[in-house]
Amino acid sequence: MTMKPIQVGLLGIGTVGSGVFNVLQRNQDEISRRAGRGIEIAMVADLDVERAKSVVGSKVQVVNDARAVIANPDIDIVIELIGGYGVAKALVLEAIAAGKHVVTANKALLAVHGTEIFAAASAKGVMVAFEAAVAGGIPIIKALREGLTANRIQWIAGIINGTTNFILSEMRDKGLDFDVVLKEAQRLGYAEADPTFDIEGVDAAHKATIMSAIAFGIPVQFDKAYVEGITKLGAADIKYAEQLGYRIKLLGITKRAEKGIELRVHPSLVPSKRLIANVEGAMNAVVVQGDAVGTTLYYGKGAGSEPTASAVIADLVDIARLHTADPEHRVPHLAFQPHTLTDAMGALPVLPMSEVVTSYYLRLRVADQAGVLAKVTGLLAEAGVSIDAVLQREADEVGGEGSTQTDLIILTHDTREGTMDAVIAQMQALPTVLAPITRIRKEELN
């Protein structure tokens, strides 16, 4: 006997919602063969009822109130595609309380309130699936939760925000500064009118927070993440990095260290020969290092209507398959059994940035006179920071003919960030250092 199709309610039918509807329609035979039963969108809530009707046609009930979907006893699964922390949080918790499974693409909500949401879902015996919340169409959550479950994950580094990667790719290709490229990205629709969440690194940090919880068995702790965006990067640094054999990428990094977990988002120099250094435009990529498997790489579209829909529908299929399974035997939301997460928190704190160990790129605008390099390298030596490479530009290359200033570029070996902060302050105080020092972290990813 075939089971009746599982009934789905959709909250929000914008870019992703319409993609979900269209892909589900187009591939429904294949999807039901995989799921073991049909999956039907029976009800849609959107404030713009007319637009919603133009997408789903007359067979699907369209309402302007999300709570009507949650209250409908025939709906088994609610897909939340509204976004943000406000109303979305209330609706997700209400859907759980009503005994509905939830599929969401809302990384902000899970990174900040995930602990509360997963606890509510566990108590109610329902699933919250969120493959679409990280890296769009790339199945990175499934890879971490299931495919790599045998591994002790050592680190994850990802290009997980398409807007910033597009901007950095353009800056590098055209030699332009950030502000110019941002305006162009907005004109082309790669950046929103208010791009703050993207360019300041917040969106990437939401995603890195979720991956870190799944990789290391800790609760989501967005408030502990170190977040730095790309707004201060100049074309000069991209060019110098290139000359030294590196590309600059905004990376979301989470790493198992001796004293805890690193969780940070910031621009990073990555060796040009690494695959991830060559991810251009709005594409996403995530590198995962596991003890048994070594390095694995996941690459694809991090946003867009149908790529994101691909992830949402994969979650729907999982729920359709497991709907009748005993809740104790499903894959846990954050990969580890929930009662083990709190223990891990004590053992694996998220480290403050001052405790993070990495290497650095420094650019100093200095007076073009004898002894400056010796003074700067002397301060680094005193602090126990060893130097990997030094690049000294000719003054006329930097400031034109007759210039009395030059750029000094230094790459360091691994050192503690707190140590680096102190030595940068000492170098900054030198009378021959003429502008704020640029510091960009360097990740070899080997």
Is 57 annotated as ligand-binding? no
Give 46-93 as a DSSP string.
-S-HHHHHHHH-SSSEEES-HHHHHH-TT--EEEE---SSHHHHHHHH
Q: In what order do the strands lie in the sheet with 39-45?
A: 61-63, 39-45, 6-11, 77-80, 101-104, 128-129
Is 69 annotated as ligand-binding? no
Is 169 annotated as ligand-binding? no
Q: Verify whether residue 375 is a known catalytic residue.
A: no
Is 62 annotated as ligand-binding? no
CA distance 115 to 338: 10
CA distance 113 to 177: 36
Q: Is 440 in contact with 268 (CB distance < 8 Å)?
A: yes
Q: Is 321 in contact with 339 (CB distance < 8 Å)?
A: no
**Residue 416: HSE in the Cβ half-sphere, 13 Å Cα cutoff:** 12
Is 328 annotated as ligand-binding? no
Is 17 annotated as ligand-binding? yes
Taken as a whole, the chain contains a residue count of 446
Marked catalytic residue, from 89, 100, 207, 442? 207
Is 122 annotated as ligand-binding? no
Angle in degrees, 0-180, between the axes of helices 28-35 and 305-322, rounded to the nearest 10: 30
Pairing type for strands 61-63 and 77-80 reads: unpaired
Is 12 annotated as ligand-binding? yes
Binding residues for NADPH: 107
Annotated binding-site residues read: 11-18, 107, 192
**Binding site listing for L-homoserine:** 192
Q: Please state the residue numbers annotated as binding site for NADP(+).
A: 11-18
Give the catalytic positions in this structure: 207
